[in-house]
Structure 1
Amino acid sequence: MLHLTLENVDQLSALCNALSTPLRIRILQQISDKNLSIVQIAENLNTSVSTIAANVKVLEESGLIITDLHTATRGTKRVCTKNYADIFINLDARYPLFASRKTIEVNMPVGHFSNCIATPTCGLIGSTGTIGSEDLPSAFFEPAHTDARHIWFRTGHVEYRFPNNTYRFQNIELHGIGFSMEICSEAPNYEMDWPSDITFWINDREVGTWTSPGDFGDRKGKLKSYLWNKTFFTQYGHLLNISINQAGTFIDDVLVSQQTIDTLDLKQPGITLRIGIKEEAEHKGGINLFGSGFGDHDQDILMKLDYQLHE
């Protein structure tokens, strides 16, 4: 959810301008529950591609949507994704409804896993090159594994232990927990059509599964990493967002399970996130995880805890 007040003058102006035409609202309707290319939106709305492209630019500049270039049959296509499921605007400064709501963020490097099982194809790359030997599971236990910026494996899992910095508070109400990471499938070299059923657990509770469509290596990653010239290798992933609140668990704003913030046993000093491939998975297509400096997004695994303190 995007929270705005009358103090956010420039952002409010851009937002209101973006929502000021029926066409741009219809574009948002088109991508409310799925991602579509500009050409697909133009066809659905019976409007020219140039008109849709111009209006998509306004929506993107306002922050309402994000776009990414994907490989198409001929060249590339720009795919549109909504950036927010909800927007709240507080028009009365006397009643700051969310003044007591706070967010704690923890950034976890991808190499700082506390437990793992990895099978080939597998490996780790740090800031200066390969850690250990590729396709050797014991490399995941090298002391240098904490320096990894990119890890991959065909089956198994990695587990991360995050600090729960809300644990020390009394009279606290947790509103939600979220994780963001750049991730995709793992194939030999790379394969754009390579589905993988990737499952997530929080505190040993399965919260949902996301099917990655492929292992992305059709272009160079946006960040100039060690992989920059290895064009036959995985280059980038999908920026995946997991959100758990009172309504359930959402992956990229799609409800995937009934696990809620109340069922995750968060009243303890640590929070465990496991990312893996289940034994019974239909698509055992592996996992690539990208950290800061690698792939398209300069981040590690980001956890957010939304909470409110009561007197």
Structure 2
Amino acid sequence: MNIEVSTDNIKFFEALSSATRIRILEMLAGGAMNVKEIAGALELSSAIVTRHVQQLEEAGIIKCENASGIRGIQKICNLDLDQAVLFFRPRGKQNSTITHSIPIGLYHSYSITPTCGLSSDTRIIGLLDDPRYFADPEHTKANILWFGSGWVEYRLPNYLLGNQEARYIEISMEICSEAPGYNDNWPSDISFFINGIEIGMWTSPGDFGSSKGVFTPDWWNHGTQHGLLKTLLVSTEGSYMDGIRISDITIGRLGISYGQDIVFRIANSETSGNVGGVTIFGKNFGNYNQDINVTIDYLNKAKA
């Protein structure tokens, strides 16, 4: 997220002005927690923690969801931001953003090898470890998908007009490796491509199944439970994963222009150093109740 230092964003800065709220963010960096767990760790009452959580949520820093628990409804808190860039100089009012949420089952092309499969939040789609079912019409309903190696490709909408140019594209998703069953120590070199250009690679540390995903359905017993929320950013300066530079590829090299779809590929090649597969989580699975979120920031070009 890009934040201009101005009174328009005062809620964001006020949310970070408390040592207690910073401690809450430090804890949530390790994974989702409910209000009672946070209160216990901080040795504060749930009522006090609820007020702090509400302020962080109003600032857009965390996201909270109600979930059924053993003792009734619990408020589950997750980080909603991995990074924020502060702009001390006004960028002007010519900048705008376009946002999309792409369901993970809406890939348009794929080439994958087992182990593999897809599932909605109510049932497995087709047969496990049979790549043919990635072409099943039901694949559009998938809330989780996984493959041992290969790639899936998404077409991202591009609504830029002829007088606009992209300044950055940001893509966030919950993702991890794919091991048979699960294995928390199962590295996988996952590469990301936009319009056929490799943006960079991130090594997933494992396929996480030792603890239940916050939003993973109770009926799910197929190993993998949750991933890690990763944010890919390609700007005028280069490409970054969670704020860490992964390549020198800039937004200008991607050919994002009027009338052209944006093709996004997630891949784990059989020639990688760590062939550990890919698992992608959508809504109602994992620790983050989201699909593939895309933000394109653009600038209205000056008239000649």
TM tier relative to shorter chain: 0.7 to 0.9
Q: Is the 8 A contact 1:18 1:59 kept in 2?
A: no
Please give the alpha-carbon distance, in whole angstroms, between the structure 1 residues aligned to 2:297 and 2:283: 24
Change beyond 3 A, Cα 1:252–1:229: same
Q: Are 2:181 and 1:179 aligned?
A: no
User: Quick one: which amino acid aligns to residue 275 of structure 1?
Assistant: I
Q: Are 2:180 and 1:156 aligned?
A: no
1:107 deviates by: 1.3
Please give the alpha-carbon distance, in whole angstroms, between the structure 2 residues aligned to 1:287 and 1:177: 22
Q: Is the 8 A contact 2:99 2:293 kept in 1?
A: yes
Q: Are 2:135 and 1:141 aligned?
A: yes
Match of 1:246 in 2: 236
Q: Are 2:204 and 1:219 aligned?
A: no
Match of 1:72 in 2: none
Match of 1:93 in 2: none
Change beyond 3 A, Cα 1:106–1:85: closer
Q: Is the 8 A contact 2:195 2:263 kept in 1?
A: yes
Unaligned runs of 5+ in 2: 32-40, 44-50, 64-78
- Secondary structure in 1 matching 2:11: helix
Q: Are 2:277 and 1:278 aligned?
A: no
Q: Is the 8 A contact 2:183 2:209 kept in 1?
A: yes
What whole-Å deviation, never above 9, does each CA across 1:227-264 have from its counterpart, x for those lacking one? x2435510111111000011110011110111100101
Change beyond 3 A, Cα 1:202–1:18: same
Q: Are 2:220 and 1:230 aligned?
A: yes
**CA RMSD across the alignment:** 3.4
Give 4+ residue runs of structure 1 displaced > 4 Å after superposition: 57-67
Q: Are 2:110 and 1:113 aligned?
A: no
Q: Are 2:262 and 1:256 aligned?
A: no
1:25-104 map, 5 Å: 83-88=82-87, 97-104=91-98
Match of 2:15 in 1: 14
With normalisation by structure 2, the TM-score equals 0.77
With normalisation by structure 1, the TM-score equals 0.75
Match of 1:303 in 2: 294
Q: Is the 8 A contact 1:220 1:231 kept in 2?
A: no
Q: Is the 8 A contact 1:217 1:231 kept in 2?
A: no
Unaligned runs of 5+ in 1: 38-48, 52-56, 68-79, 91-95
1:89 deviates by: 5.3
Match of 1:265 in 2: 255
